[in-house]
Structure formats: C-alpha cells, structure tokens
Amino acid sequence: MAVKTVATKPIEGQKPGTSGLRKQTRVFMEPGYLENFVQSIFDAIGGLQGKTLTLGGDGRYFNKRAIQIILKMAAANGAARALVGQNGILSTPAASAVIRARKTDGGLILSASHNPAGEDGDFGLKYNIPAGGPAPEAVTEAIYRHSREIREYHILEAADLDLSTCREVQQGPMTVEIIDPVTIYADLMRKLFDFDAIRALFAGGFSMRFDAMHAVTGPYARAILEGELGAPESTVINAAPLPDFGGGHPDPNPVYAKPLFDLMMGPDAPDFGAASDGDGDRNMILGRGAYVTPSDSLAVLAANARLAPGYAAGLKGIARSMPTSRAADRVAAKLGIPAFETPTGWKFFGNLLDAGKATLCGEESAGTGSDHVREKDGLWAVLLWLNIIARRGESVQEILNAHWADYGRDYYSRHDYEGVDKAAAEALVADLRARLTELPGQTFAGLTVAAADDFSYNDPVDGSTSSGQGLRLFFAENARAVLRLSGTGTVGATLRVYLERFEDDPGKLALDAQDALAPVTAAVEEITGLKSRLGRDGPDVRT
C-alpha cells in the first residue's frame, strides 16, 4: 500500500473555536478541507510516528466517511495504532475515558456537539490531548498556524475498513483496534456511583424518562440505565442514533428538548427526566414540575457529591466558567474548598483537574463533569443525580428547595440571539467594551452598575493569560449580567446574554426565573439597546 503525498494550499478559516473546528457539513466535505485540518493537527503535535490515537464521533452525517479518511492519514503519517469506536462511534466523554484508560497519545473526536446534523447541518473535529481533554489554546493556535502554512498532506492509498465488528485489523502498517464504544465508559461509571442504591430506586417503582435526542447517548443510556440499573425499557426514548439526529437540534434545553420538558411539567410526569446532546457531553435535569438550571445543578451536585462512592472522600475544589452562576461558589465556601472561575470552554478546566485543584466542574451551557475524565459528561451528571436522589430519598424539587433554603437562590437564565448579523453583533460588543469604564455609578432600569470589566483569566497552573473572555456588568443589587459572542456557531453570530440575581429572602425563593430576572434584562436592554441593534424582538432561546 502506497503513501500518497498530496500537494495542497492553506484554506481560510481553519481556526478552532470554543471547542474544535465547527463548520457546515458541506464545508467539511469540500475537497481537501478535512485533510488539510487533520494534517495540521498531526503536524502541530509533532507528528504521529509510532503513536496511538483514539478515534470516534457522534455518528452524525459524514462521520463514517471522515473516519476512513483520518485512519488512512494516520497510517500514512506513521501512527502505530488507532483505537476506533465500533462503527466509528464514541461519545465525547467516552472518547476521553478511552484516551485515559488506554493511555493513548490523545485522540480525534468528530462532532459538532449540539449543532444540528446532516448534509445541511454542521460537522466538527477536535483534537484531545493525552490527558483526555480538549487541546488547550497553545495547541489550537499551533494547529491554526499549521493550517495557514500547509503545503501537503499524506494519505494511504487503501480500501476502507469494515468498522462494524470489534476486532483488530490492519490499515497498512497501522493496527486498528475496533472497540465497543460503551465498555470502558460503563466500567468507569460503575466505580463512581452506588449502582446498588440506584437499582433499588428503580426496583421500588421510581420512574424516569431519558431523551437521547436520536444522538450518540442512546446506546450508553440503554446499556447503563435499562441494562444494568433495571430501569424499565421505555425509559430511554429516541435511543437510536441517526445521522441527522432525526432532523432535530440535539441541545438539551427547554426549547430544543421541548417534548421532554412539557412531559415533565404536565400531569403524567415521571419522577425524573433527563436529556443529553449530540455527542453526549451536555445534560438537562428535570424533576416532576421542576427544571434544574445547569448552574444550580453544579451547585447541588457539589453539595451532595459525598453521597457517591467516587466522591466520598470529598472535593478538592469546584470550578465553573465565568458566565455560570455563582451558586457553586457558595457551596465551595461552605465546604471550605477553593472555587475557580474560568473562561467559557471545557479546555480551561483541564489544568485545574490535572493539578488536583478541582474535582467538579460545570458550565451554564448544560455541562457538568469531574476529574473522572477531561470532558463534561451528560450521563455522568444523570447518574450522580440518581445516586443523590436514591440516597436522600427526596424528589428533585425537594432537593432544590432544601438547597435554596440553605444557600439562597441564584436566579439564572441565558438569553441567546442566534444567527444575527455578525457585524452588528460585533459592533454591539465593541461599543459596550468601550463604555465599560464609564458605567459604574450609573443606574439603568433601577439597577446601579457597581463594576464592569472584560473578563481575563490567569491560569493558576501554567500562568497563561486568556483575555477578552466576556463583558461583565455587576450591579449593586446583587445581580450580574454577562455578554459574549458564542465561539461554536457556524452561521452569522450568536450573542449570549447571561443574567443572574441572588435572592435569600425565604419568601422569594419560588419565583418564576424570568420574572425574578426582569430588572436585569431591562437594565441590559437599556445599556445596550440590543433588540433594535440586532433587529430582534427577543431571544431565540431562554435557558
């Protein structure tokens, strides 16, 4: 089998965003597009000679084709071995678990996460380092640099491999080990959680609905919840992964997972509801009549983590992304452990986890996880909730109420303005940035700005600085708003407005979140005039 060296030219825009390179599928399918980016990754990490890679994706359209191309390129670049999920499938947290358990030299994950799939949808690719987490900025910048200088790529001239059975095969000189996508991940979950307690919960009639949204978590949820923990067979819905995710938008939030949300708010709600996203790293948690914001979920999980065997020794610290509510900080303070505030992007948690400074991490964007892997992990969050429910013997709403009574409540919501004009959104952010110093002391819609800044993060482990990470407006009335542009979209721009207000008056802990936040929403509108500047009546998504 011959190695072919193909002459190529740099392609514009191969700059990884918040989480790898995400583009419209048709862009990734353009001649040489995938090949250029993959070669740039290989070159940026010092080549592949003799290395072992983990490889898998969320099964979306183009996953199959891309895996075959990457395998041929890995072989041509001298890799010794590739561990590939059966049929090219690995959820993002499972890929991280495989990289760590098998100590591979990192891996490539094919996913555009919660973005819709299909030929008219999105596709994505990211490189994870040997610790199992998304490549840090220094590496993604090196990848981008290589993509702007690339002159050739290497690929094996060979037939595609059959990836449908678990076994070892050769792709030229490289050994390809086709692995069951669930086994290593399920082994890890079994070590962390009290499966006996959860089994007893289901045996006692506890009812649950898990919406896999026709994406990658279906097989994982089936195997663990139904297969191992004894949940009835109807528990996991939309369990078959489809290349176009059934035409849906697999983002587990009240808007895109509306059928589950409505079920949980209705008269026939089961005890517990949960959903995960395209690649299995996000989660949504619901109880009967109760929606748990991701920020609250992190705080509740942190406060109760010791109930799970894997965390019985306690937590070393809690990390959250800056726009995530400060509810987790209150738990850290009570536990007497450090709280960290990082920029948006799971990659920023990697150093804290590796250094043993944090055990639990979370983001408002439906991501929670721990040091068990280096990605956020949807099913992990669901299992920790189940473990806590089983051990406390309380409903989701009871657990939330008790938490708010102890700590107060951080009312929280994110308003997304999706697919807006890029220039208009960038100008809005730039104008606000230019006014940050003049805002303190001024009052808007009854709220007084106490401080305003552009968030900058100094990594306490490697000393690197990441600036320009989001505009923060702190109000004297114990409220905060953050504005930033999404780094994961593929069309136009998405403006995210994060709103939060703390309340500890016992009589005001059960308000509607949007009502409780109305003054903060109004203040942001008064400060930025965003609706008219973006030509929108309101947000597309309120989490």
Minimum CB separation from ligand G16 for residue 398, in Å?
29
User: What's the CA gap between 356 and 319, in Å, rounded?
Assistant: 12
Span 21-80, contacts to ligand G16 by CB under 6 A: none
**How many residues in the shown chain lie near ligand G16 by CB under 6 A?**
17
Which of these ranges, 167-175, 211-219, 480-488, 520-528, lies near ligand G16 under the rule CB under 6 A? 480-488
Q: Is residue 344 involved in binding ligand G16 (CB under 6 A)?
A: yes
Q: Is residue 281 involved in binding ligand G16 (CB under 6 A)?
A: yes
Taking a C-beta distance cutoff of 8 angstroms, is the pair 280, 216 a contact?
yes
Question: Would you say 297 or 344 has its CB closer to ligand G16?
Answer: 344
Partner residues linked to 443 by β-bridges? 448
Query: What is the Cα gyration radius of the chain?
Result: 23
The only residue of 51, 81, 100, 114 in contact with ligand G16, by rule CB under 6 A: 114
Minimum CB separation from ligand G16 for residue 402, in Å?
28
Kindly list the strands in the beta sheet with 360-363, ordered across the sheet, starting from the edge strand earlier in the chain: 339-342, 318-321, 360-363, 367-370
Minimum CB separation from ligand G16 for residue 173, in Å?
33
Among candidate residues 19, 96, 113, 276, the one labeled active-site is 113
User: What's the CA gap between 58 and 242, in Å, rounded?
Assistant: 10
Span 354-383, contacts to ligand G16 by CB under 6 A: 363, 365, 367
Which of these ranges, 26-34, 339-347, 390-398, 522-530, lies near ligand G16 under the rule CB under 6 A? 339-347
| Count helices and strands in the chain by DSSP H and E runs | 17, 27
Question: Binding marks (x or -) toward ligand G16, 489..508, rule CB under 6 A?
Answer: -------x------------
Minimum CB separation from ligand G16 for residue 422, in Å?
14
Question: Would you say 226 or 377 has its CB closer to ligand G16?
Answer: 377
Q: Is residue 19 involved in binding ligand G16 (CB under 6 A)?
A: yes
Q: Is residue 486 involved in binding ligand G16 (CB under 6 A)?
A: yes
User: What's the CA gap between 12 and 433, in Å, rounded?
Assistant: 28
Question: Would strands 236-237 and 208-211 be described as parallel, antiparallel, or unpaired?
Answer: parallel
- Per-residue tokens: 361: 């991490």
The only residue of 1, 3, 8, 18 in contact with ligand G16, by rule CB under 6 A: 18
The only residue of 487, 504, 522, 525 in contact with ligand G16, by rule CB under 6 A: 487
Span 286-325, contacts to ligand G16 by CB under 6 A: 321
Q: Is residue 202 involved in binding ligand G16 (CB under 6 A)?
A: no
User: ∠357-383-287 over CA atoms, to 5°?
Assistant: 115
Kindly list the strands in the beta sheet with 174-179, ordered across the sheet, starting from the edge strand earlier in the chain: 21-24, 122-128, 107-110, 52-57, 81-89, 174-179, 168-171
Minimum CB separation from ligand G16 for residue 277, in Å?
6
Question: Would you say 244 or 418 has its CB closer to ligand G16?
Answer: 418
User: What's the CA gap between 488 and 112, in Å, rounded?
Assistant: 8
User: What's the CA gap between 24 and 10, in Å, rounded?
Assistant: 18
How is 56-105 classified by DSSP, letter by letter? EE---TTHHHHHHHHHHHHHHTT-SEEEEEEEEE--HHHHHHHHHHTT-S
The only residue of 39, 86, 91, 113 in contact with ligand G16, by rule CB under 6 A: 113
Spell out the residues 6+ positions from residue 199 whose beta carbon is closer than 8 angstroms to its own. Answer: 229, 230
User: What's the CA gap between 388 and 297, in Å, rounded?
Assistant: 12
- Per-residue tokens: 203: 């045996």
Q: Is residue 346 involved in binding ligand G16 (CB under 6 A)?
A: yes
113 is a catalytic site residue = yes
Q: Which residues carry out catalysis? A: 113
Binding site for ligand G16 (CB under 6 A): 18-19, 113-114, 281-282, 321, 344-346, 363, 365, 367, 486-488, 496
